[in-house]
Each structure stands twice: as structure tokens, then as C-alpha cells.
């Protein structure tokens, strides 16, 4: 049986039964599961969580579905590591990197798909499907393969070939759409009304989005059940940004963590920055046509954009538009100062960290967690790298090239 039996609209607070429903029947707002917080506050403890598997399913009590039989195999429980050289470079007291590129398909999307797939099996669905800018398709195809399910992924035709191969290897079906991610999203919404499939980011979105909370849960636990001063998160649909906040709030609600909630800073590439524009302009989100190197964040009509703006304001943070020409250099800065090669989304996140530090919003007294949500091996073309020099098989020429005197 499902861990929850009711969904609530995040906009109008209407209630409906927990099923495969992508939006509020009254106002079309996003839905979220309803938990019994009084019961959870009485029953969940640090010890009960720490006794769980080293995966996101250690937080099963705070998720809307029961853990699958392979819960111990992940995803989640990714490293949180100190980055002192990056902290010094940007002028922040302490920077820690949450390395979600170490998940099975090398992005945080494994978290959300794990929860959605568990719900799909509960509902008896045999096909996982989605629209994707890259990473989600990888995660859907992999999870479907592991579960013996069919997978269907719709991609914009401009998606990086590395991400396409990272879906194709799992044997799922792929469709390249001559259009943007928003065109793909419209198609899967239409399909969801016709087919009895599990569209993870449409009719299962209320459950899928809950997987993102586990990043907040892990950060707090890995800090010794404490909150950081701030967290920096990439923004695409806005779901990750809002759910990370919700995760921190829920830990406080059940009494697992005390203290002030973190300030949240978000980043968008300037070529697709509807949420950053709305934040700076003090207005609602207006859809845009994406034109950005950060394909994984190229969602011009973000479903949770207005909620992301509200979270940034209420937390004392901001949403930053990172210039396109700074995305690649910020990827390089991350790599050269931490040994971590993050994708373009990480370049945007580090760019937002730099912007927040430059403005004084983050400073020498702050402990800041930066999310690395995907690997740079999927987006290598976005960053300029040195080329090797060619030499003869001669040690004298080698020493000369290296500038080493003997």
C-alpha cells in the first residue's frame, strides 16, 4: 500500500486521492503528497534513519511510496565533500560539494526516477516514459531496464550526443523531436491522456518531485544533523529548488534538526533565465525560448518557477542569471580547484555561487553547500581544455617541452 493516500495542491490547497494525476483538478497547480506529520514526529528518529540502507530509501518514512526490494543499491547517499580551494577562490568561508554526479546514471535524476518508478510499480504500470533534456532520460531508461519495464524517452533534437548514448545503452526507445524541451513536454502531456503509461514528470510528478527532498535530508544528516548557512541549486523547472527547501522544512517539522533554515541561491544560464528574471523584476515568471549552452536547464516554461521565486525570497536568497560566457569557465574553475568535473548545470551553479559571493550575499562566515547535479563527461564540449603537445619518443625533447632542467 502507498505511504500516502491524499494529494494536496500547492497553489489552492485542494485535496484529491493519491493516484496517477499530474495536476490539480481545480486550478491545474502542482500536487504534493499529504503526510501525517504528528505521527512521523512521534516515530521517526535519528537512529531509525541511520539504521536504514545507504541510499535515499533510508528516508522511506518521509517519502510517498514504500521502498523497493533493491533499496540498498541506491540511488542517493552521495558524498558531501569539502572544497577549501574553491571557497578561497570565491571568498566564502566554507564550501561543500554535494556530489550527485556519483549516482548510477551520474545525475540527481536517479533520485526522482527511483521514487516515481516505485509508484509506477505500485500502480501496475509497465512503461516508464518522460520528456527530457538529457539526464532524466538516462535515469528513466536505466531504472526501467533494472525493473524489467519498457522505457520511452522524448528528447529535443539538440541534446548532447553523450547524453543520447547514455540512454541508448539501456535498450529503451528514444524519440528525437524537432523542437525544444517545452515541445517535448507538450507531447508527453498529450500522450499521458491517451496511454496507460507512467510518465514520470507528468502523471507521476507529485511522487517524482519528492525524490529531490532527499538531497536536503542527506545534507543535514551528513553535517551531523545540522543545516548549512546556505545552499546553491541549479534551476530548470524549479522543482529541485523548491523541494530542497521543503526537505529542510520537513526535517525541522519532525524535530530532527534545529536551527535556522538555509538561505537558498539558485542559478540559471542567461540564455534561459525566466525564473532569475522574475526574481530580479519582482513579477511572475514569463516563458522564454531557450538559447543556452546549459541544455539540461533549458526549460523555457518552468512549471514551478513562481514557487522557486517565492522560496528564494522567503529564505533570504536569490536566483542569479549567469552569463553564457561564464558557464564553461565556471565548470573549469570547479574542476581546477576541486578535482570535480561537473556538467553545464554545475557551471551555472558555481556561477551563481560566484555572483552571490561578489554581491556580499555569501561571505567569510558562511558554510555553503553547492549541488553538483551531473557529470561533465556528458557535456564536455562546453568547456575549453588544453590540448596535448606532440613530441618524438625522445627524452630530451620531452624535458624541453616540460621546461624541466636536469
pLDDT at 70: 87
Quick one: 85 and 7 in the same domain?
A: no
Q: Largest alpha-carbon pair distance within the chain?
A: 78
Among 117, 107, 400, 62, residue whose Cα is nearest residue 251: 62
Q: Is residue 170 part of a domain?
A: no
Q: Is residue 399 part of a domain?
A: no
List the beta bridge partners of residue 153: 130, 174
Quick one: 273 and 351 in the same domain?
A: yes
Quick one: 85 and 14 in the same domain?
A: no
Provide φ and ψ at 271, rounded to 5°: -75, -5
What residue ranges of the chain have pLDDT lower than 50? 1-2
On whether the CB atoms of residues 314 and 279 are closer than 8 A, the answer is no
| pTM given for the model | 0.94
Label the pairing between strands 263-269 and 318-322.
parallel
Give all strands of the β-sheet with 150-156 in edge-to-edge order: 173-177, 150-156, 127-131, 198-199
pLDDT at 1: 39
Quick one: 2 and 96 in the same domain?
A: no
What's the CATH code of the domain at 272?
3.40.50.1100
Q: Is residue 58 part of a domain?
A: no
On whether the CB atoms of residues 345 and 325 are closer than 8 A, the answer is no
Q: Is residue 316 part of a domain?
A: yes
Q: Is residue 355 part of a domain?
A: yes
Quick one: 220 and 284 in the same domain?
A: yes
Label the pairing between strands 94-99 and 367-372.
parallel
Quick one: 21 and 95 in the same domain?
A: no
pLDDT digits (tens, 9 = 90+) for 97-141: 999 999 999 999 999 999 999 999 999 999 999 999 899 999 999
pLDDT digits (tens, 9 = 90+) for 97-106: 999 999 999 9
Quick one: 268 and 341 in the same domain?
A: yes
Quick one: 258 and 330 in the same domain?
A: yes
How far, in Å, CA of 187 to CA of 178, rounded?
Answer: 12
List the beta bridge partners of residue 9: 31
Q: Is residue 403 part of a domain?
A: no
Q: Is residue 94 part of a domain?
A: yes
How far, in Å, CA of 152 to CA of 190, rounded?
Answer: 14
pLDDT at 255: 97
Residue 297 structural domain: 80-105+210-382
Among 316, 331, 406, 328, residue whose Cα is nearest residue 370: 331
Q: Is residue 357 part of a domain?
A: yes
61-84: buried (b, 16+ CB within 10 Å) or exposed (e) per residue?
bbbbbbbbeebeebbbbbebeebe
How far, in Å, CA of 189 to CA of 204, rounded?
Answer: 11
Quick one: 259 and 329 in the same domain?
A: yes
Instruction: Please name the residues in contact with 283: beta carbons below 8 A apart, sequence gap of 6 or more.
Output: none
Domain count, the chain: 2
Amino acid at each position: 500500500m502507498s505511504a500516502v493516500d491524499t494529494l494536496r495542491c500547492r497553489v489552492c490547497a485542494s485535496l484529491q486521492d493519491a493516484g496517477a494525476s499530474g495536476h490539480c483538478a481545480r486550478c491545474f497547480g502542482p500536487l504534493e503528497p499529504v503526510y501525517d506529520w504528528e505521527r512521523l514526529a512521534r516515530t521517526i528518529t535519528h537512529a531509525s534513519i541511520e539504521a536504514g540502507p545507504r541510499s535515499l530509501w533510508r528516508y522511506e518514512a518521509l517519502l510517498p511510496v514504500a521502498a523497493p526490494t533493491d533499496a540498498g543499491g541506491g540511488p542517493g547517499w552521495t558524498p558531501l565533500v569539502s572544497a577549501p580551494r574553491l571557497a578561497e577562490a570565491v571568498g566564502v568561508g566554507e564550501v561543500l560539494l554535494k556530489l550527485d554526479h556519483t549516482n548510477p546514471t551520474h545525475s540527481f535524476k536517479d533520485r526522482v526516477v527511483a521514487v516515481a518508478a516505485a509508484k509506477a510499480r505500485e500502480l501496475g504500470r509497465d512503461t516508464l516514459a518522460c520528456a527530457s533534456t538529457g539526464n532524466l532520460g538516462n535515469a528513466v531508461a536505466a531504472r526501467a531496464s533494472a525493473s524489467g519495464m519498457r522505457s520511452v524517452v522524448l528528447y529535443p533534437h539538440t541534446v548532447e550526443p553523450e547524453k543520447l548514448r547514455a540512454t541508448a545503452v539501456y535498450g529503451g526507445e528514444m524519440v528525437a523531436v524537432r523542437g525544444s524541451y517545452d515541445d517535448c513536454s507538450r507531447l508527453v502531456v498529450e500522450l499521458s491522456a491517451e496511454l496507460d503509461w507512467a510518465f514520470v514528470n507528468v502523471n507521476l510528478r507529485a511522487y517524482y518531485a519528492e525524490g529531490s527532498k532527499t538531497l536536503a535530508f542527506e545534507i543535514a544528516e551528513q553535517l551531523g544533523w545540522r543545516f548549512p548557512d546556505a545552499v546553491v541549486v541549479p534551476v530548470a523547472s524549479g522543482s529541485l529548488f523548491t523541494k530542497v527547501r521543503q526537505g529542510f522544512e520537513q526535517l525541522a517539522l519532525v524535530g530532527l534538526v534545529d536551527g535556522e533554515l538555509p538561505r537558498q541561491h539558485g542559478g540559471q544560464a542567461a540564455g534561459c533565465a525566466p525564473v532569475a528574471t522574475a526574481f530580479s523584476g519582482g513579477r511572475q515568471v514569463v516563458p522564454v525560448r531557450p538559447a543556452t549552452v546549459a541544455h539540461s536547464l533549458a526549460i523555457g516554461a518552468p512549471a514551478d518557477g513562481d514557487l522557486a521565486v517565492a522560496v528564494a525570497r522567503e529564505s533570504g536568497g536569490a536566483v542569479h542569471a549567469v552569463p553564457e560566457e561564464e558557464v564553461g569557465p565556471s565548470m573549469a574553475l570547479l574542476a581546477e580547484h576541486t578535482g570535480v568535473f561537473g556538467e553545464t548545470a554545475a557551471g551555472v551553479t558555481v556561477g551563481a555561487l560566484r555572483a552571490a559571493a561578489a554581491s556580499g550575499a555569501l561571505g567569510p562566515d558562511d558554510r555553503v553547500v553547492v549541488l553538483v547535479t551531473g557529470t561533465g563527461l556528458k557535456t564536455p564540449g562546453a568547456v575549453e581544455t588544453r590540448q596535448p603537445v606532440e613530441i618524438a619518443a625522445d627524452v630530451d625533447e620531452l624535458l624541453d617541452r616540460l621546461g624541466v632542467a636536469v
